[in-house]
A and B are shown apart, each in its own frame.
Chain A
Amino acid sequence: MKLFRKLPGYMNIWSLLSLIIVVLILLPNLTILINFFTQKAENWGHIQEFILPDLLKNTSLLIVFTGLLAILIGTSLAWLVSAYDFPMKRFFKWALILPLAIPPYIAGYTYNGILNYTGVIQTTLRNQWGVEVDQKYFDILTLPGAVFIFTLFLYPYVYTITRAFLANQSASLIENARLLGRNAWEVFFRVVLPISRGAIVGGVSLVLLEVLNDYGLVQYFGVPTFSTAIFQTWFGMNDLNSAIKLSATLMFIVFAILIFEKVLRGRKKYSYTTAKVRPLTPIQLKGAKAWMAFSYSLLIFLLGFLIPFVQLVDWMFLTYEKIASPEFTSLITNSLLVSFVGATMIVVFAVIIANFARMHQSFVSKSAARVTILGYSIPGAVIAVGISTVFIQIDQLLFGFYEMVGMEPTLVLSTSLFMLISAYVIRFLAIGYNSIESGFDKVGNKFTEASRMLGMNLTKTFFKVDLRMIKGPLISGFILAFIEILKELPLTLILRPFNFDTLSTKAFQYASDEQIHEASLASIIIVIISGIAIYIFHQVLEKEPN
């Protein structure tokens, strides 16, 4: 009986659109899972026996060591910056996030360029002091090398989330511990670490998902993982079904991580929920301690941002005359175009689902919200496999239609830019969604309810009231999604139309062809745009009272 009453509330354009979007997101992922159990793959036996053990071993090693080191660096920096004052702390506070502006594949080939035989370190040693070094000490193209790069350029996920938590949530607990006579180390290990467990787990799971998503770095470093194996079986062996099976296996690992995160975090959320937060008052460090804190922060900043950045700028000046051409301009246009269209679609979809979810606090709407976030956990290569399978099937269904309108019955959708942009939307919808959802959360429902009590229906209310209220989060969501698409590599490499290059694919191609210097111009543009976005978010927005 309750159905009759509930129905009028659900019968609107928002519910319908949300449903459609959710189905579109689920389709590629479901395809992979279904095909995993139904399709036969010719090389699967071979892969299981000879390749899979290596993939599992490498993946586990990468995950475990990157995870541990990222926790170590991220948490310690977050604690230093929130609890103490030391020279240049205000700068480090946001500068320590900057490593996120350099995608791991770019960082990887930059470090290789710095360390190899012709790099700046070895040539200086040779030419200035005549020192010849053993190459094995300078070889970064190894699994530990990959861990080094992943850690240095992904730790900010742990750092930012933990810092936000410590700065806003922990003041009374930490101050109490101090008043109870505990020294700094005891406070850190017995209070800070346990209470920030939720935040740390949240941050490190993002790091691990990024590691699983990566294709560029592991391919360049020659460390076989699932992403590289999916590429190899799909394009090298031309065996899509095996690629699907590998993708499904990787998906199971992702799910395991997500469940692990849930269990570890328990019921603790890492975002603050109350509006009244009292910030932690930092203690002034003096003398040697102050300089130690400064040196540690500086070291991480140098390794994680400044050194690779300066090296890229240096290479850029060496090569830009050769690289900067009309063709290069088209790379920029392409990158901006896909990022703009993708981010716009993401924001529109995210708004539709977030609005639906907040109006109906039901099982259906909560599931819709979960599905929206799903894509961000799924590695790019897996989404690529799923989405092209779906698009090829759609194309085959449409062959009749193509013939009817006088076109060749070939693959139309699955060779178009449309497929790539759909993939971006699936992968990064969560970024737009989280931003917009938290915007809606902050505003609450009262304005919407007030508007409806004044006779406006849902849609009018949305355009006249809701949209104005979430303008800030809407713009944030757009910029964040824009940056992610700009940096994206695996999806773009697989799904781009023939002869369509972006800044990231071109940078990766140059680097793969051992033209590291030539890759710098495209890389530096990506790094600078991302860097500016990070500056705006963590420096400018944080200072605003609202």
Chain B
Amino acid sequence: MFIQIKDLCFCYGSTKDNTIQDFNLEIDQGEIISILGESGSGKSTILRLLCGLETPSRGSISIDGSVMTDERRFVLPEKRGIGMVFQDYALFPHMTVAENIQFGLKGFGRKAKKQRTDEVLDLVNMTAFSKRFPHELSGGQQQRIALARALAPKPSLLLLDEPFSNLDADLQIKIRSELKDIIKKTGITSIFVTHDREDSKAIADRIITMRDGAAHDWESICTTLSDQTQAELELVDMK
């Protein structure tokens, strides 16, 4: 198993109820997983826990054999080697496209930086835009740059948080297939979160539905029998 999430629990500071309750998931290398759920179901929280922006209250996460967090360990987000595309892209407004991409290329030489930047820009078909600032790009272009920036440091895992929510419907369909091609080309293990079934169906190898902070799919472990039946219903519904 490339990624192993076990019995993950999490609650936001002020609340008593767990936002995430006994979440279990295993992912193979190179798989594209979609986490599907309504807003408030805790799907974005899973991404934030995976990359270390939130600290779980219980459970463990390991990636490629190394433990990211368990009862006594916690690896800081910058040390995890995970790439993330944020919902509103979070491109640094004071840096050009090239500078944004090079931001993550720590320890690369000048030449290597330039080369890697060109590579990823080429990958997302944005070579001509390297000197632009983020505000000079359209929404779809910004998204591609955000993807290029996340891919540039060659992360072991790519996370995408509602990658299409800021795009209009036509663009969404176009970018969706592009995104799938790009991810497949790099062969990177990816998890993306969405509330749109069509998105999930179009891109993912496997779909996880989330309700009330727990995962429901045919391979991950469901805590109760009723969850299991409900999950099945859900899947039938989707097909």
CB distance from A54 to the nearest CB of B (A): 47
Stretch at the interface among B75-83, B118-126, B183-191, B200-208: B75-83
Known interface pairs A5-B69, A446-B88; A456-B78 also in contact (CB < 8 Å): yes
- Kindly identify, within residues 11 to 51 of chain B, every residue whose CB is under 8 Å from any CB belonging to chain A: 13, 51
Q: Is the CB of B55 within 8 A of A464?
A: no
- Is B144 engaged at the interface, CB distance under 8 Å to the other chain? no
Decide: A453 and B55 in contact? CB cutoff 8 A.
no
Shortest distance between the CB of B133 and any CB in chain A (Å): 13
Structural contact, A449 and B74, CB atoms closer than 8 A: no
Q: Does B71 contact A (CB under 8 A)?
A: yes
| Across-interface contacts of A5 in B (CB, < 8 A) | 55-56, 69, 71-74
Q: Are A453 and B88 in contact (CB under 8 A)?
A: no
B90 near A4 with CB under 8 A, answer: no
Report A-chain residues with C-beta under 8 Å of the C-beta of B76. 8-9, 452, 457
Q: Separation in Å of the A456 CB from the closest CB of chain B?
A: 6
In the bound complex, do residue B57 and residue A2 qualify as a contact, i.e. CB atoms below 8 Å apart? Answer: yes
Please determine whether A453 and B82 come into contact, CB atoms closer than 8 angstroms.
yes
For residue A88, which residues in chain B have a CB less than 8 angstroms away from its CB?
Answer: none
Q: Which residues of B contact A464 (CB under 8 A)?
A: 103
Cβ proximity bits A398-431 to B, threshold 8 Å, 1 near / 0 not? 0000000000000000000000000000000000
Task: For A455, give its contact among B57, B78, B92 (CB under 8 Å).
Answer: B78
Docked-complex contact A453 and B13, CB < 8 angstroms: no
A533 at the interface (CB under 8 A from B): no
Residues of A with C-beta under 8 A to B106 = 455-456
Chain A residues within 8 Å of B78, by CB: 452-457
- Please encode chain B, from 158 to 184, with 1 for each CB lying within 8 Å of some chain A CB and 0 for all others: 000000000000000000000000000
Q: Report the Cα distance A465→B149, complex, angstroms.
A: 15
Contacts of B57 in A (CB 8 A): 2
- Is A451 an interface residue, CB under 8 A from the partner? yes
User: In whole angstroms, how far apart are the Cα atoms of A347 and B146 in the complex?
Assistant: 33
Q: How far is the CA of A362 from the CA of B86 in the complex (A)?
A: 24
Please report the number of residue pairs spanning A and B whose Cβ atoms sit closer than 8 angstroms.
Answer: 82
Contacts of B8 in A (CB 8 A): none
Chain B residues, Cβ within 8 Å of A465: 92
0 or 1 for each of B76-100: is its CB under 8 Å from A? (1 = yes): 1111011110101011111000000
- A361 contacts chain B at the CB level, 8 A cutoff: yes
List the B side residues contacting A9 at CB < 8 Å. Answer: 55, 74, 76
Point out the residues of chain B lying under 8 angstroms from A456, CB to CB.
78, 103-104, 106
Q: Is B193 an interface residue (CB 8 A)?
A: no
Q: How far is the CA of A451 from the CA of B149 in the complex (A)?
A: 10
Number of B residues contacting the other chain (C-beta, 8 Å)? 34
Whole-angstrom CA separation of A455 from B78 in the bound complex: 4
Q: A5-B56, A450-B90 are in contact. Are A455 and B104 (CB under 8 A)?
A: yes
- Let me know if B103 and A4 touch, CB within 8 A: no
B71 to chain A, nearest CB (A): 5
Q: How far is the CA of A2 from the CA of B78 in the complex (A)?
A: 20
In the complex, chain A residues 1-55 whose Cβ is within 8 Å of any chain B Cβ = 1-2, 4-9
**Is B137 in contact with chain A by the CB < 8 A criterion?**
no
Q: How far is the CB of B92 from chain A (nearest CB, A)?
A: 6
- Docked Cα-Cα span, A446 to B104, in Å, equals 15
Quote the shortest CB–CB distance from A363 to chain B (angstroms): 8
Q: Is B63 an interface residue (CB 8 A)?
A: no
Q: Tell me which of A4, A455, A468 contacts B72 (CB under 8 A).
A: A4
Cα distance, A449 to B48, chains bound together (Å): 10
In the assembled complex, the Cα of A451 lies from the Cα of B53 at a distance in Å of 12
Q: Using Cβ atoms and an 8 Å threshold, which residues of chain A touch B58?
A: 1
Whether B150 sits at the interface, judged by CB under 8 Å, is: yes
- Does B153 contact A6, Cβ atoms closer than 8 Å? no
Chain B residues near A291 (CB-CB < 8 A) = none
Q: Is the CB of A453 within 8 A of B84?
A: yes
Interface string of B211-231 (1 = CB under 8 A from A): 000000000000000000000
Residue of A nearest to B159 (CB): A453
Q: Which residues of B contact A255 (CB under 8 A)?
A: none
CA distance A248 to B55 in the complex (A): 42
Contact of A252 with B by CB under 8 A:
no
Tell me which residues across on chain B come within 8 A of A450, comparing CB atoms.
84, 86, 90-92
Task: Give A204 Cβ to nearest chain B Cβ, in Å.
Answer: 30
Give Cα distance in the complex from A452 to B82, angstroms. 10
Does A447 belong to the interface (CB within 8 Å)? yes
Given A5-B55, A9-B55, A446-B86, A453 contacting B77 (CB threshold 8 A): yes
A450 to B142, CA, bound (A): 14
| A2 neighbours in B (Cβ, 8 Å) | 55, 57
19 extra A-B contacts, CB within 8 A, seeds A1-B58, A453-B104, A464-B103: A2-B55, A2-B57, A4-B71, A5-B55, A5-B56, A5-B74, A6-B74, A446-B86, A449-B53, A450-B90, A451-B103, A452-B53, A453-B83, A455-B79, A456-B78, A456-B103, A456-B106, A457-B78, A468-B92
Residues of B within 8 A of A (CB): 13, 51, 53, 55-58, 69, 71-79, 81-84, 86, 88, 90-94, 103-104, 106, 149-150, 153
A-B contact pairs, 7 of them (CB 8 A): A5-B72, A362-B13, A449-B86, A450-B91, A452-B78, A454-B83, A465-B92
Q: Which 7 pairs of residues, A with B, have the shortest CB-CB distance?
A: A454-B104, A450-B90, A446-B90, A5-B74, A4-B72, A453-B84, A452-B77
